[in-house]
Chains A and B, each alone.
Chain A
Amino acid sequence: MTENLKIIEIEVLRYNPESDQEPHLEVYSVPFSDDMSVLQGVQYIKDNFDGSLTFRWSCRMAICGSCGMMINGIPKLSCETFLRDYYPDRIRVEAMAHFPIEKDLVVDLSGFIEKLESIQPYIIPKEPRSLDQGEYIQSPKQFNDYIQFTSCINCTLCYAACPQFGLNPDFIGPGAIALLHRYNMDSRDGAAAERMELVASEEGVFNCSAVGYCSEVCPKHVDPANAVNINKTNAAKDYFLRFLSPKGGAK
């Protein structure tokens, strides 16, 4: 630390389920250098002011998806958001919106994990395949159809951004639908019809009102809004054409 450190005020949403009725804000004055992220700011608070401050983090390089927070009301990864961009104003750091708070900046992600499981996020082959049939061959075009949607790091910033998830926590939501789309679009996968039941359900894509904020906050440019809206068209087709298709998606 050098002597030319500036001081920034960080306002942190605190909540201890064992003693607090509701979350409240606490302000800390944190010395920082230009290369310090918001994550390092809250780490400074934990190390120097209050060891009980609780938050998730791991990689510090925007790849693990653990350190999502509301930073001045905008869902962001705190490791790739820099204190210098807010100085000299005070910066407000809160737990991700729309999720139940477990403690301080840590939210309960069990609902999201359930949704992730429900979309069957793995390749379900069209037909059984033996080892001596060799590997799957995929063309660059087939690869490009899904590669963008593989970049999701499950940071759930898109859920904190989605007003419809905020209104209806049962909505499968942008992140999980983007991943669902990733497997549907994979030429090795044959379970799109199976996943359609979820896409077309009341928890499915039609909760979305095409706000698009999910794609704006996505740190990996997955564009979940696009995945959701493509699946609206797919679900509408399935709704009207199910009686015509020989297999029949009708239930």
Chain B
Amino acid sequence: MKSGLKRSNAPIFWSLFGAGGMLSALFGPALVFITGIAVPFGFLLPADAMSYPKMLAFAQNLIGKGFILAVIALFLWFAAHRIYHSLHEFGIHAGLAAKLICYGSAFVATVISVVVLLGLGF
């Protein structure tokens, strides 16, 4: 066995990436359909399906909060990881700076989401 091996911290980012990838594959298209097509065009769903009171109630429910947080944060961690690795694959080895921008923005957005969701009350 080689000596001086350093354990990679990739599992943290890889798990968030994997969870986000799975979630976006499962819910992404449905969310685009509901929020972008069905509700605005009154197609299949009632026009007030996403009205302010309904959405506020959704965001004040614990499960609703969890769903919104997962959809925002995990999608972003997924995107951050994908972009960071694509840069590397295209030969742009921006190193720490790229890492900070990619994962940093996902982290900041996660924190903002948590703060806003908690701020909405229960």
Contact = CB atoms under 8 A, between A and B. Distances in A.
Interface in A201-242: 201-204, 206, 209, 232, 235-236, 239-240
Interface string B61-104: 00000000000000000000000010011010100000000000
A236 B1 contact: no
Given A163-B89, A236-B15, A206 B10 contact: yes
Contacts, number: 49
Interface residues of B, number: 16
Interface stretch (A24-32, A42-50, A98-106, A192-200): A192-200
A209 B2 CA distance: 23
Interface in A153-208: 163, 167, 194-195, 197-198, 200-204, 206
Contact of A201 (B5, B89, B93): B5
A204 B8 contact: yes
Contacts of B7: 197, 200-202, 239, 251
A118 interface: yes
A206 B1 contact: no
- A interface secondary structure, majority: helix
Interface in B33-58: none
A202 B15 contact: no
Contacts of B85: 209
A118 B1 contact: yes
Interface string A10-44: 00000000000000000000000000000000000
30 contacts: A118-B1, A163-B89, A167-B93, A194-B1, A197-B1, A197-B5, A198-B1, A198-B2, A201-B6, A201-B7, A201-B8, A202-B5, A202-B6, A202-B8, A203-B2, A203-B5, A204-B8, A206-B11, A206-B14, A209-B85, A209-B88, A209-B89, A232-B14, A235-B8, A236-B11, A236-B15, A239-B11, A240-B11, A240-B15, A251-B7
